[in-house]
Structures are given as structure tokens and as C-alpha cells.
Amino acid sequence: MLIDFQVASPTKKTAKQIAESATKLGYRTSFEPNEDNSDWTTICATRMMLSHPAVLAIQQELDTLAKPFDGHADGWGTFGNA
């Protein structure tokens, strides 16, 4: 399944930096302003077998990646096997 992991960050610049770093790890990335506040969201997508341990591992990886940019992992979602 294609899973989208969201990473929150305070600015467009930091969202772009997170996207660049995640791309180097093999994620398909994009970033956009958060509709609910002034933060930015970086989407880091990957194709994977969905399991609780795998989701937790990726969230930890992205959280660690985002910390130097004042960001943090902020959820995940999928549209299924469409």
C-alpha cells in the first residue's frame, strides 16, 4: 500500500529541508501549508506492507529526521490499494 506520513514544521523553508532529506531516504515528498494553523506539512510517501511495527518505525525515522528542522512526525494515512 502507498502510505502518506505527515511531518509538521514551522516554516516553508524547514518543510522543504525535510522533504529534501526524506527524498534522499527514498520517500516521495511534497509540502504544503497547514490549513488549520501557520505550520507546514511535508508528506513523505512510501509503498509498504502495512503493519503497526512498520508504521511506528517509519514515524520514528521521520521524527528523528525532522528534529534538526524544528519538525516532528504528525500522523499517517492511506487511500488503500486503489
Domain boundaries, the chain: 2-78
Instruction: Show the low-confidence residues of the chain (pLDDT under 50).
Output: none
Burial 42-78 (b: 16+ CB within 10 A, else e): bbbbbeeeeeeeeeeebbebbeebbeebebebbebee
d(CA 48, CA 69) in angstroms, rounded, equals 26
CATH of domain 2-78: 3.30.70.970
pLDDT of residue 35: 85
pTM of the predicted structure, to 2 decimals:
0.92
Work out the mean pLDDT of the chain and round it to a whole number: 95
